Amino acid sequence: MLSSMCTEPHPAARRAAERFLATNPGDPASYPAVADLETQAIEYLGEIAGLETPDGYVASGGTEANIQAVRAARNLARDGTSADGESVNVVAPESAHFSFHKAAGLLDVELRLVPTEDGKADLTAVEAAVDEGTALVVGIAGTTEYGRVDPIGELAELARSVGARTHIDAAWGGFLLPFSDHEWTFADAPIDSMTIDPHKVGRAAIPAGGFLVRDRALLDALAVETPYLESASQASLTGTRSGAGVASTVAACEALWPAGYRENYERARANAEWLAGELSERGFPVVEPELPIVAADLPQDLFETLREAGWRISRTGRGELRVVCMPHVTRGTLGRFLADLDSYR
Amino acid sequence: MLSSMCTEPHPAARRAAERFLATNPGDPASYPAVADLETQAIEYLGEIAGLETPDGYVASGGTEANIQAVRAARNLARDGTSADGESVNVVAPESAHFSFHKAAGLLDVELRLVPTEDGKADLTAVEAAVDEGTALVVGIAGTTEYGRVDPIGELAELARSVGARTHIDAAWGGFLLPFSDHEWTFADAPIDSMTIDPHKVGRAAIPAGGFLVRDRALLDALAVETPYLESASQASLTGTRSGAGVASTVAACEALWPAGYRENYERARANAEWLAGELSERGFPVVEPELPIVAADLPQDLFETLREAGWRISRTGRGELRVVCMPHVTRGTLGRFLADLDSYR
């Protein structure tokens, strides 16, 4: 399995998930134990993402967290304008995950996609795209296709210049970036919200996405009243939620933050560089990995043959082979993949 | 725990959930085994809900399924009108779950709530509320507060009269109603979509909601393109989804449909009637249970004392005690609850 951004949960995370399978953090007054665990989970995520007094919740995944960021920004932008129901826009690099397209359609906001340079948001294009109707500027810290990190500080500055908020999608990158030199956290730049998913590189069980906000007002902008629950309101997009995801997030972070995640990052980076080198030596054009995703231009019939042979691989939008070096992807697996590739080409 | 609409999963469902914890039906080309299981899950749900060639998917829960119903109806209604972006409305009884309020805010549609009579949608009020801007009429088959079933056939007829679609929320009721005399299925009335949650009375593991549609066009109206996945598009609201929810749905249905669910229904009904009788005998006004939810007017200080004593109980919007007779709620538990109640009053 070389195509997934999910992986085998850590054994402690798996045990915690199994223990909390029948609990619902969406009904905190009925399930107080898992509600307490959620507070711990958000504290861990805050520590990882440079937020001293974090607020947020464990979402169903990155898609929910990204939708919520757009929804909060839209709701607050509308409240601030006199003309009710005025259309707002969201500016994002074209590298943004397809969940932002989903969010825009759902929420009836205009998505302005700007070009990228070497896979990163082109700041001149962002500057040209933002205006007074911009509710949110999106930056990606670890793009889905090439693992690139946008210039977060500059994006946040451009957002501020038009009174917009900034959201960082670190769904996949968030558990790798603390060990890199990138600037991406709440401490590095005046960003407002972040997606950071425990069930990807964090090795929690699915479903465990992370939605973090600097200012509680963003959560308040999402809240609906909850009659027949003993809690008063609910800010999540889903109603019933998975206690397994929450409990396994805490267990994974307890087990792996920070040393285990650092080890995982080093190993993944080494594997990605090795694979990129091997593919390059074989004459396939390779996109240099920045975070551990390898993209390489393979003939389409070779790609198809490898898929038919049982390798779970996927393609970038441009059709390149895309290998995500997740914790379950070992050097041995990559070696066997290359051996198969050699035998078919 | 007397307040939850979730329950302990069936042992077979729990085992299946544990086995599929690390799979993602949101990426079916990477996880084909769980994609096959999802087809089976939808076939079971279709059988239960009277749909011969069912389409749909296993959602994160009833909230997602309800949002998706509103979203599909909105998107299709807009496509059908010449004026782009025209506002549409959704007509629902005031008994509708708060997820419809969430959906309306999210999707920018007007939610027209109509009064109920004895907890059921008042048809005269629905008739007065629908118009050419109505995209969807909602009926509830087992309301969250009192377990009431709306007149589904009549609602669907009123919807048709203005060219609107009909959605039935059977999130909680769907695994009880097959054993009652109510009309609520796709076979009973020309309804278009349904929410029916395996992780409630169906005894699957959280998260397992069910979204069923009669016509695949409703799913198509939700689809977004999915680059870097080997599948072409995705109709779900969330992206990564829980294989545990899908696998445990199949396991629970294999184990319990139909005999086990019937037994569960009979027991729950008997318990609800018994509890209602006992509360009534003690002089507390009781709302006669139709499906196994008991609502009774208790003094608020008695309610609070029982909560402090450790009973997980909740209130209706009118402040009544509300007890949901789920599979884990036994006669013994209810007896102990009454004993505590007697000792405190």
Report CB contact under 8 Å: B206, A64.
no
| The pLDDT of residue B303 | 96
Using an 8 Å CB-CB cutoff, list chain B residues near A3: 27, 29-30, 229-230
pLDDT tens digits, A41-77: 999 999 999 999 999 999 999 999 999 999 999 999 9
Quick check: B295 and B327 in contact, CB under 8 A? no
Give percent of chain B with pLDDT exceeding 90: 94
To which H or E segment does residue A91 belong?
strand A89-93
| The pLDDT of residue B84 | 46
Residues 6+ apart with CB under 8 A from A152: A139, A141, A166, A168, A183, A184, A188, A189, A191
Please count the other Cβ atoms lying within 10 Å of the Cβ belonging to residue B47. Answer: 15
Question: Measured between alpha carbons, how far is B234 from A268 in angstroms, rounded to an integer?
Answer: 29
Tell me if residue B293 falls in helix, strand or coil. Answer: strand
A132 near B CB under 8 A: no
| The pLDDT of residue A227 | 85
Report CB contact under 8 Å: A240, B316.
no
Question: Measured between alpha carbons, how far is B169 from B203 in angstroms, rounded to an integer?
Answer: 18
Question: Measured between alpha carbons, how far is A297 from B30 in angstroms, rounded to an integer?
Answer: 20
Amino acid (one-letter) located at A281 = E
The per-residue pLDDT of chain A, averaged, comes to 95
**What single-letter DSSP state applies at residue A9?**
P
In which residue ranges of chain B is pLDDT below 50? 82-84
Quick check: A25 and A38 in contact, CB under 8 A? yes
Residue A81 has pLDDT above 80, yes or no: no
User: Measuring CA to CA, which residue among A77, A44, A305 is closest to residue A192?
Assistant: A77
What is the pLDDT averaged over residues A313-328? 94
- Residues 294-323 of chain A whose Cβ lies under 8 A from any Cβ of chain B: 307, 312, 314-317, 322
To which H or E segment does residue A95 belong?
none
Report CB contact under 8 Å: A6, B240.
yes
Using an 8 Å CB-CB cutoff, list chain B residues near A226: 98
CB pairs A-B closer than 8 Å: 209
How far off is chain A from B8, nearest CA to CA, in Å?
6
How far off is chain A from B98, nearest CA to CA, in Å?
6
* Beta-sheet pairing, B134-140 with B89-93: parallel
User: Measuring CA to CA, which residue among A89, A174, A100, A75 is closest to residue A126?
Assistant: A89
Report CB contact under 8 Å: A1, B30.
yes
Q: To 10 degrees, the CA torsion angle through B185, B186, B189, B193?
A: 100
| The pLDDT of residue A87 | 80
Quick check: A315 and A189 in contact, CB under 8 A? no
Using an 8 Å CB-CB cutoff, list chain A residues near B307: 230
Quick check: B315 and B303 in contact, CB under 8 A? yes
A33 near B CB under 8 A: no
| The pLDDT of residue A83 | 44
Quick check: B164 and B155 in contact, CB under 8 A? no
Report CB contact under 8 Å: A4, B27.
yes
pLDDT tens digits, A232-281: 899 999 999 999 999 999 999 999 999 999 999 999 999 999 999 999 99
| The pLDDT of residue B80 | 54
The per-residue pLDDT of chain B, averaged, comes to 95
Dihedrals φ, ψ of A336, to 5°? -65, -35
Of A81-85, A96-100, A190-194, B121-125, the one with minimum mean pLDDT is A81-85
Question: Measured between alpha carbons, how far is B30 from B27 in angstroms, rounded to an integer?
Answer: 6
Residue A338 has pLDDT above 80, yes or no: yes
Question: Measured between alpha carbons, how far is B301 from B319 in angstroms, rounded to an integer?
Answer: 12
User: Measuring CA to CA, which residue among A184, A179, A208 is closest to residue A42?
Assistant: A208
User: Mutual orientation of helices B331-344 and B300-308 as an angle, nearest 10°?
Assistant: 120
Q: Among positive and negative, which fits the CA dihedral B241, B242, B243, B248?
A: negative
B28 near A CB under 8 A: no
Which residue out of B60, B87, B95 would a mutagenesis test of the A interface target, given it has the greatest number of A Cβ atoms within 10 Å?
A: B60
| The pLDDT of residue B179 | 98
Dihedrals φ, ψ of B197, to 5°? -100, 115
Quick check: A136 and A103 in contact, CB under 8 A? no
Of A30-34, A53-57, A294-298, the one with minimum mean pLDDT is A30-34
Using an 8 Å CB-CB cutoff, list chain A residues near B14: 18, 21
Helix, strand, coil % over all residues of chain B, rounded to 5: 40, 15, 45
Question: Measured between alpha carbons, how far is A137 from A162 in angstroms, rounded to an integer?
Answer: 10
Report CB contact under 8 Å: B63, A17.
no
Which residue out of B106, B143, B226, B329 would a mutagenesis test of the A interface target, given it has the greatest number of A Cβ atoms within 10 Å?
A: B106
Question: Measured between alpha carbons, how far is A155 from A101 in angstroms, rounded to an integer?
Answer: 20
Report CB contact under 8 Å: B23, A206.
yes
Residue of B nearest to A319 (CA): B228
Residue A27 has pLDDT above 60, yes or no: yes
A83 near B CB under 8 A: no
A7 near B CB under 8 A: yes
Alpha helices (runs of H) in B196-317, residue ranges in sequence order: 217-220, 243-256, 259-281, 300-308
Question: Measured between alpha carbons, how far is B71 from B62 in angstroms, rounded to an integer?
Answer: 14
pLDDT tens digits, A193-214: 999 999 999 999 999 999 999 9
B21 near A CB under 8 A: yes
User: Measuring CA to CA, which residue among A116, A125, A68 is closest to residue A316?
Assistant: A116
Amino acid (one-letter) located at A309 = A
> pLDDT-derived band of residue A80, with 50, 70 and 90 as boundaries?
low
Quick check: A73 and A135 in contact, CB under 8 A? yes
- Residues 213-252 of chain A whose Cβ lies under 8 A from any Cβ of chain B: 224-230, 234, 237-244
Domains observed in chain B: 11-256 (3.40.640.10), 259-344 (3.90.1150.10)
ipTM over 0.90? The verdict is yes
- Residues 179-208 of chain A whose Cβ lies under 8 A from any Cβ of chain B: 197, 199, 205-207
Helix, strand, coil % over all residues of chain A, rounded to 5: 40, 15, 45
User: Measuring CA to CA, which residue among B285, B247, B211, B218 is closest to residue B9?
Assistant: B247
Which residue out of A106, A233, A241 would a mutagenesis test of the B interface target, given it has the greatest number of B Cβ atoms within 10 Å?
A: A106
pLDDT tens digits, A160-195: 999 999 999 999 999 999 999 999 999 999 999 999
A330 near B CB under 8 A: no
DSSP lists the bridge partners of residue B321 as B296, B315
Question: Measured between alpha carbons, how far is B320 from B80 in angstroms, rounded to an integer?
Answer: 44
